[in-house]
Amino acid sequence: MAEAAPASPWWAGRMAAAFGAPFLWLVCLIYFIQGFRSFVWTAVSYQMKDIMKLSPSTSQFLVSAAFFPWSIKPIYGIVSDCIPIKQRKRVPYLIISSGLSLFPWLIIGLSEHLRSSSNLFTLMLIVQNLGSAMADVVIDAMIAEAVRSAGSEFAGDLQSLSWSSMAVGGIFGSLLGGYALSNLPINAIYIIFSALPLFQLVTCVFVKESSKGFDSTIDNAAHDHADDQNIDSAFAGQGSGESFKYVSTRRRKGARKKNKRRTLSKRSEGHEKHNKSVNLYSSLKSAFISLCTAFKQPAILRPMAWFFISNSAVPNISTVMFYYQTEVLHLEASFLGTARVIGWFSLMLGTYIYNRYLKHKKLRNILMFAHLGLAIITVLDILLVSRLHIQYGIADKYMVLWGSALADAINQFKMMPFLILSGQLCPPGIEGTLFALFMSINNLSSTLGSFLGAALTSALNISSVQFDNLALGLTVQLMGTLLPIGFLFLIPRDVTGLTS
């Protein structure tokens, strides 16, 4: 009896053994590209401010509208979930999403007219985000399925891998984005970035799904070739013992049978089309009922309600702060890229701290301290805008760096339990739909917070040359950040950051 292979002591080895290297590669690639989007979105911010000459409130509104496709992710989940299980193929959706992510950036880079029109520019951003959101839904559904089949001990590992990949992409994107803005024309940045969705598209074409994840097309082609050889040899063996005198008789009988088969096949095609439409309707109905049944459970509904309130109640005025940092503080693009790099490192640090020390703590306490920490970050922004830090000899750059670092780390303490809890609550068969619904709640509430921030900016008459009321706007943001603490009763008392 052969000895069982010892378990790999390395984390990467355990992950590869559990999920397969091709699947892990695809997860890392897609999340790396999601993070590397900071390379091109830095250019988008400067495009709106310097070339289109848009006000802070208008820029905030257009960016919020551009990210709306992330708020309707359940639609993509329904499409990927409602195909019969044995015929489920998610890779084609990744191919479609890669194309939607690729062509808008390429068109923006090649068309000067499109880059000068705010409406057309925003439309292209919406299409691009549609592709990115679709890819995110599909890969999240694959992660949920993989975790369910591999075991709960891997619940945090895949999320950590995906967030770490996104952080690495964000680090490189932020570093190179600041350099590119200083040394390249802005249209070249869009064209260069389009190479990554193209690489994702090519990668998706050359992988195939299997029950364990993915197989390379080379392995599948070899398997198909072996099957073809077996079929050919079977036909060859069958024909070797036949006598020539029976050939013409077999042909006449075969012709009559072929005519019968044609008639039957026409009838069967109609039945198959009818059955497919009925099956699709049944799948959609079943998915909708399962989705409603699952979402009505208090263990799901109450936490999702809290996360919705925690984002939508906070007016997001990050675009206004970007205008303030560049127009008043005169911070360069390279420095802002460095600040984002520190933020991405903090995201990785926050992921490690959460998995190492916080995931067994009560979720109410984690979320309460996270919002208290975010409130402290807003106070630092108020001090920055009020210029009170100057009398203590603290430079503007240090205030921005510390604020960026702490904000990303603290936000991760809030996002990690949300992602893990969402993945564990997904019932079999509708992983893509329900997980996408969870994420859409988070994205929609964030979008509403951004629209609220745009409205607040407009109401306070904040413009690219007028920031007198910015401190007041940040005070309103501070109050909104503290408000969700009063709704923590929606989170079950004994739920931890690891399991529900």
Give pLDDT tens digits for 344-376. 888 778 777 877 888 788 888 889 999 999 999
For 311-333, what is the mean pLDDT? 92
Full-model pTM = 0.75
Of 30-34, 302-306, 421-425, 429-433, the poorest mean pLDDT is in 429-433
For 141-148, what is the mean pLDDT? 74
- CA–CA distance, 102 with 198 (Å, rounded to integer): 6
Query: 17 with 154: CB under 8 angstroms?
Result: no
The predicted structure's pLDDT at residue 272? 52
The predicted structure's pLDDT at residue 37? 92
The predicted structure's pLDDT at residue 72? 82
User: Has residue 397 got a pLDDT over 70?
Assistant: yes
- Of 210 and 156, the structure prediction assigns the larger pLDDT to 156
User: Has residue 284 got a pLDDT over 70?
Assistant: no
Of 5-9, 40-44, 337-341, the poorest mean pLDDT is in 5-9
Is the fold of 11-208 the same as that of 298-499? yes
Domain edges within the chain: 11-208, 298-499
- CA–CA distance, 255 with 263 (Å, rounded to integer): 13
Torsion angle defined by CA atoms of residues 79, 85, 87 and 91, in that order, rounded to the nearest 10 degrees: 50
Query: 162 with 34: CB under 8 angstroms?
Result: no
Q: Count CB neighbours of 234 within 10 A.
A: 10
- Of 197 and 116, the structure prediction assigns the larger pLDDT to 197
- CA–CA distance, 359 with 408 (Å, rounded to integer): 18
Q: Count CB neighbours of 118 within 10 A.
A: 16
- CA–CA distance, 179 with 184 (Å, rounded to integer): 8
CB burial readout 121-131, b (16+ within 10 A) else e: bbebbbbbbbb
**Of the spans 234-238, 251-255, 296-300, 402-406, which averages the highest pLDDT?**
402-406
What homologous superfamily is domain 298-499 in, according to CATH? Answer: MFS general substrate transporter like domains (1.20.1250.20)
User: Has residue 10 got a pLDDT over 70?
Assistant: no
Percent of the chain with pLDDT over 90: 32
* Residue 207 main-chain phi, psi, to 5 deg: -125, 150
The predicted structure's pLDDT at residue 6? 39
The predicted structure's pLDDT at residue 81? 61
Query: 33 with 200: CB under 8 angstroms?
Result: yes
For 394-409, what is the mean pLDDT? 86
DSSP assigned state of 468: T
Give which of 244, 315, 278 is closest to 478, Cα–Cα.
315
Q: pLDDT band for 23, please (50, 70, 90 cuts).
A: confident
Q: Which two tokens stand for residue 334?
A: 């390279």
Look-up of token digits 């077999």: 250
- 206-210 long-range contacts, CB within 8 A, separation 24+: 207/22, 207/26, 207/91, 208/91, 209/88, 209/89, 209/90, 209/91
Q: Give the sign of the dihedral formed by CA 436, CA 441, CA 444, CA 450.
A: negative
The predicted structure's pLDDT at residue 30? 92
Helix, strand, coil shares of the chain, percent, nearest 5, are: 80, 0, 15
User: How is domain 11-208 classified at the architecture level of CATH?
Assistant: Up-down Bundle (1.20)
* Residue 213 main-chain phi, psi, to 5 deg: 150, -95
User: Has residue 459 got a pLDDT over 50?
Assistant: yes
The predicted structure's pLDDT at residue 376? 93
Query: 426 with 290: CB under 8 angstroms?
Result: no
- CA–CA distance, 412 with 418 (Å, rounded to integer): 10
**Of the spans 66-70, 147-151, 263-267, which averages the highest pLDDT?**
66-70
* Residue 22 main-chain phi, psi, to 5 deg: -60, -40
Percent of the chain with pLDDT over 70: 72
pLDDT in tens, 93-104: 888 889 999 999
